[in-house]
A and B are shown apart, each in its own frame.
Chain A
């Protein structure tokens, strides 16, 4: 406050800044509400996607247990290692939700044909196919969850940031500026009052001097 120059120019500038901050505050509030609404929608979607991933995981575990029971633990182990040689490929693109950049994972074909998998068709049963297919579906679901989880995390970060900005504007920046404006107004009014008093004093002084001069002139004329 001490550094503020209590001038009319400063007051005008400050009022402009207050108006801009108020406008920014309401815009940020709208952005925050919009982000929260978007977050809620994606949260519902995330719940579904995560639920489906858990289901797929349980199904994959069941299929794996059956495959181990029928085709043997070694077959499953060798097949799992053979399948691991080629990791799933995917590309990450970007999209914007209310200015928040979120990833879009474009999944390449994770699923392989039975014939392309590294295990014999004659020496295994369809339980292995089903277990492999269930795990391939699980990978797909994990990538989907990764995408939606990152989106949610980014949205939460942005909501948090926007909330902090709104609060800072609402409870600190705007009140501080308004107080400064009030201070400048008060100072300017005080300066006005001082000037008026000074003028009044001056006027009285001048009147007294004129009266003195008139009295002297009257006395001279009488002598």
Chain B
């Protein structure tokens, strides 16, 4: 019987290991790639997603059905992980999943900006964060000013209070910065917390390098790039990010050699494919770390990332097939590791 610090992790890791086995294997994606849209939905009806597809099939059809069913499954999976976890694991996972609260706030605000109907806004809500669906249902009924008031006393209040005076894009970026700052500024006193913080810092590195390259392609000035940089990366500090942002494209790509995220990344014509390469590098890196620390939060986080990637891949496949996008193009966009 496991006792002590490892007991917290053993249970949740065992639960997620079982859940991980239910993920769609890599080879199956190759098969899915050769199916048409209806065949993909039929295939998914024989997997974990059956319940959500059946539940929403009366209301939606086509790629929208797939879209909402996948997101519903994702939120249920994340909620289940939080539910079965306890102690520090629960705390960290709740903290990690706050990103979905930001996703929801942003989508509600975007919906308000776009004057979208409430049902449409509700469909984008992924209740996988701290707040439940009822909170968001109430929130979306309110006017933007009242939405801002609902977050008074929270860290999100500051950027949200700028609503109406600055562009919504600035608020979106500020919210994500606050989210990452909250985690990366933690001073880890023990290994499990350090692993968690490092995991998020690695994600910050990936986000930052994607931002630098994405804005570099567009010749955006250094200071404007730096406004979008999230501090406290794993290997990529703010100063290093500034140095990279000031370089020319060729110098920049040469300077990236040696960073943990630059292994096997090839500069392609389209930036989205470079993003996919970064995602692959990140997933491989966390897989390596998770196998080094099997009784830690890392296998749980790894599963959560893999689940999100699976959902994204299925959405790309669904929309791609629906829009008759060639298989090669769909394959380029899939993150299959």
A positions within 8 Å CB-CB of B = 61-62, 65-66, 68-70, 72-75, 77-79, 81-82, 113-115, 117-123, 125-127, 129-130
Task: For B167, list chain A residues within 8 Å (CB).
Answer: 118
Look across to chain A and name the residue whose beta carbon is closest to the beta carbon of B224.
Answer: A115
Task: For B115, list chain A residues within 8 Å (CB).
Answer: 81
Task: For A78, list chain B residues within 8 Å (CB).
Answer: 110-111, 113-114, 116, 168
Q: Assess the A75–B220 pair: CB atoms within 8 A.
A: no
Task: For B320, list chain A residues within 8 Å (CB).
Answer: 62, 65-66, 69
Q: Assess the A66–B169 pair: CB atoms within 8 A.
A: no
Q: Assess the A120–B106 pair: CB atoms within 8 A.
A: yes
A-B contact list, 11 entries, CB within 8 Å = A61-B323, A65-B323, A66-B272, A69-B316, A74-B111, A78-B116, A113-B218, A118-B168, A119-B169, A122-B228, A123-B175
Bound-state Cα–Cα, A78 to B124, Å: 12
B279 smallest CB distance to A (angstroms): 10
Closest 9 CB pairs of A and B: A120-B172, A78-B110, A65-B323, A69-B319, A74-B124, A69-B315, A126-B271, A122-B176, A65-B319
A123 smallest CB distance to B (angstroms): 4
Given the interface pairs A74-B114, A78-B110, A129-B271, the reply to whether A122 lies near B312 with Cβ below 8 Å is: no
Question: Which residue of the partner chain, among B168, B207, B210, contacts A126 with CB atoms under 8 Å?
Answer: B210
Task: For B239, list chain A residues within 8 Å (CB).
Answer: none
Besides A125-B275, A126-B210, A127-B333, 18 other CB < 8 A contacts? Answer: A65-B323, A65-B325, A66-B320, A73-B67, A74-B124, A75-B110, A77-B110, A78-B114, A78-B168, A82-B113, A114-B214, A114-B215, A119-B172, A120-B171, A122-B173, A123-B106, A123-B172, A126-B272
Look across to chain A and name the residue whose beta carbon is closest to the beta carbon of B171.
Answer: A120
Look across to chain B and name the residue whose beta carbon is closest to the beta carbon of A120.
Answer: B172
Task: For A68, list chain B residues within 8 Å (CB).
Answer: 63, 67, 319
Look across to chain A and name the residue whose beta carbon is closest to the beta carbon of B273.
Answer: A126
Question: Which residue of the partner chain, among A70, A117, A123, contacts B312 with CB atoms under 8 Å?
Answer: A70
A42 smallest CB distance to B (angstroms): 32
Task: For B63, list chain A residues within 8 Å (CB).
Answer: 65, 68-69
Bound-state Cα–Cα, A129 to B319, Å: 18
Look across to chain A and name the residue whose beta carbon is closest to the beta carbon of B317.
Answer: A69
Q: Assess the A69–B177 pair: CB atoms within 8 A.
A: no
B positions within 8 Å CB-CB of A = 63-64, 67, 102-103, 106-107, 110-111, 113-116, 120-121, 123-124, 167-173, 175-177, 207, 210-211, 214-215, 218-220, 224, 228, 230, 270-272, 274-275, 312, 315-316, 318-320, 322-323, 325, 329, 333
Bound-state Cα–Cα, A114 to B333, Å: 20
Query: Do most interface residues of chain A lie in helix, strand or loop, or is the interface mixed?
Result: helix
Task: For B271, list chain A residues within 8 Å (CB).
Answer: 126, 129-130
Q: Assess the A69–B172 pair: CB atoms within 8 A.
A: no
Question: Which residue of the partner chain, among A61, A70, A123, A125, contacts B176 with CB atoms under 8 Å?
Answer: A123
Bound-state Cα–Cα, A127 to B316, Å: 11
Task: For A74, list chain B residues within 8 Å (CB).
Answer: 107, 110-111, 114, 116, 120-121, 123-124
Q: Assess the B116–A77 pair: CB atoms within 8 A.
A: yes
Question: Which residue of the partner chain, among A70, A118, A122, A123, contacts B315 with CB atoms under 8 Å?
Answer: A70
Look across to chain A and name the residue whose beta carbon is closest to the beta carbon of B109.
Answer: A78
Given the interface pairs A66-B272, A70-B316, A82-B168, the reply to whether A120 lies near B121 with Cβ below 8 Å is: no
B211 smallest CB distance to A (angstroms): 6
Q: Assess the A120–B272 pair: CB atoms within 8 A.
A: no
Q: Assess the A130–B272 pair: CB atoms within 8 A.
A: yes
Q: Assess the A130–B270 pair: CB atoms within 8 A.
A: yes
Look across to chain A and name the residue whose beta carbon is closest to the beta carbon of B180.
Answer: A122
Look across to chain B and name the residue whose beta carbon is closest to the beta carbon of A68.
Answer: B319
Given the interface pairs A74-B114, A122-B207, the reply to whether A66 lies near B121 with Cβ below 8 Å is: no
Given the interface pairs A74-B110, A114-B215, the reply to whether A122 lies near B177 with Cβ below 8 Å is: yes
Task: For B172, list chain A residues within 8 Å (CB).
Answer: 119-120, 122-123
Question: Which residue of the partner chain, among A75, A121, A122, contacts B107 with CB atoms under 8 Å?
Answer: A75
Q: Assess the B316–A117 pair: CB atoms within 8 A.
A: no
B255 smallest CB distance to A (angstroms): 20
Look across to chain A and name the residue whose beta carbon is closest to the beta carbon of B272.
Answer: A126
Look across to chain A and name the residue whose beta carbon is closest to the beta carbon of B227.
Answer: A115
Task: For B169, list chain A residues within 8 Å (CB).
Answer: 117-121
Task: For A75, list chain B residues within 8 Å (CB).
Answer: 106-107, 110
Bound-state Cα–Cα, A75 to B108, Å: 10
B120 smallest CB distance to A (angstroms): 7
A131 smallest CB distance to B (angstroms): 10
Bound-state Cα–Cα, A120 to B174, Å: 9
Bound-state Cα–Cα, A2 to B225, Å: 89
Among the interface residues A66, A69, A125, which one has the most CB atoms of the partner chain B within 10 A?
A69
Q: Assess the A73–B124 pair: CB atoms within 8 A.
A: yes
Among the interface residues B103, B219, B323, which one has the most CB atoms of the partner chain A within 10 A?
B323
Task: For A119, list chain B residues within 8 Å (CB).
Answer: 168-169, 172
